Amino acid sequence: MRVGRLDGRTVGLIVVLALLSVSPTVRLSAQTDARLIEALRLAQSGQVDSGRAIVRRLLATLPPGDSVFPQALLAAAKIAPDAPTVASNLNRIVVEYGTGPWADDALLLLTQLYFAQRDPAQTVQAAERLNRDYPDSPLRPRANFSAARAYFELKNEARGCELIRQALDGSADDVEFKNQVSFYASRCSPPSTTTTAPTTTSTPKSPDTTKVPPAPHAYAVQVLAVKSAVQVDEMLTRLKVMGFDARVVRDSTGFFKIRVGRYLTREEAQRAQARLRKKVGGQPFVVDEP
């Protein structure tokens, strides 16, 4: 048996089978159009080609502004023949219909797809977007469960355990899911509780005049300068996953500049620059910051 990264067709089959057998306790927006319901019924009964044919005809004839169109994209993703087609349809929903009722469904399924592909960086990116853009979505626990395991693979135990606890808190009455999450929760120590130190009376100290005044400026490493918010979001997620402290600075020309760190010396910044060039690529460079 071949070990390693799964090929797109194998992953597509795994994901499609998972999507067609989602536990009824998981709230995924169900298709409401009778044609799509029939297409999914056919696929579940083994007549996948017939189901795909119905969805293809709908996507070819419906205008993109029709309320059924994103539903058809979701159905197409669920019965797609391979992983790239699954991802393409789901990403269209997220990008083109982000304010609709299907976007959080698409992000959950993307999280599960990327995890099945053994791509932890993409997994956490999809899950973190779901957390950020749809904080009230009941699908977050499922996405966070996949993302937590991805963070463990990326050696980010702190964030992984944080998401495991969130998944456990949101497991509600789903006993099977709660048991799955609890298995991974055993590797995380309980969150520390803050205790108030006893108040003691002490003699006031005179101001410490030996403190070094704050540096007049610092150094940072600029990784990217773009006008696309999508590129910014992707790069910030990548940097966060890799453990870099990244932020965005916007200048008067409308460019988003992604910078890492605030270093006291140029030498420190140059060491970070070398790490970024090795891990992220491109041409990061050191900049002065006030």
Could you give the CA distance from residue 245 to residue 146 in angstroms, rounded to a whole number?
23
Residue with token string 């050191």:
286
* pLDDT recorded at residue 23: 44
Least Cα distance to 148 among 124, 119, 114 occurs for 124
* pLDDT recorded at residue 253: 72
Parts of the chain with a pLDDT under 50 = 1-8, 10-27, 193, 195, 201, 208-215
Which uninterrupted H or E stretch holds 288? strand 285-289
Residue 151's CB: how many other CB atoms inside 10 A?
A: 25
Could you give the CA distance from residue 130 to residue 136 in angstroms, rounded to a whole number?
10
pTM for the model stands at 0.61
Could you give the CA distance from residue 51 to residue 123 in angstroms, rounded to a whole number?
28
* pLDDT recorded at residue 192: 53
Cα separation values, 19 from 8, 12, 32, 243, 263, Å: 16, 10, 17, 32, 47
Strands 218-226 and 246-250: unpaired
Could you give the CA distance from residue 286 to residue 120 in angstroms, rounded to a whole number?
29
* pLDDT recorded at residue 151: 93
> Is the CB of residue 143 less than 8 Å from the CB of residue 130?
yes
Task: List 286's β-bridge partners, or say none.
Answer: 221
* pLDDT recorded at residue 230: 66
Which residues have C-beta within 8 Å of that of residue 258, sequence separation ≥ 6?
222, 223, 224, 225, 232, 235, 236, 239, 246, 247, 248
Look up residue 22 and give its two tokens: 């989602």
Instruction: Outline where 30-174 has alpha helix (H).
Output: 34-44, 48-61, 68-78, 83-96, 103-116, 120-133, 140-153, 157-169
> What DSSP designation does 243 have?
T
Residue with token string 């950020």:
132
Q: What is the pLDDT of residues 116-150, one digit of tens each?
A: 888 999 999 999 999 999 999 999 999 999 999 99
* pLDDT recorded at residue 146: 93
Could you give the CA distance from residue 102 to residue 77 in angstroms, rounded to a whole number?
12
Which uninterrupted H or E stretch holds 256? strand 256-263
Crossing angle between the packed helical segments 68-78 and 34-44, to the nearest 10 degrees: 0
Look up residue 274 and give its two tokens: 């070398």
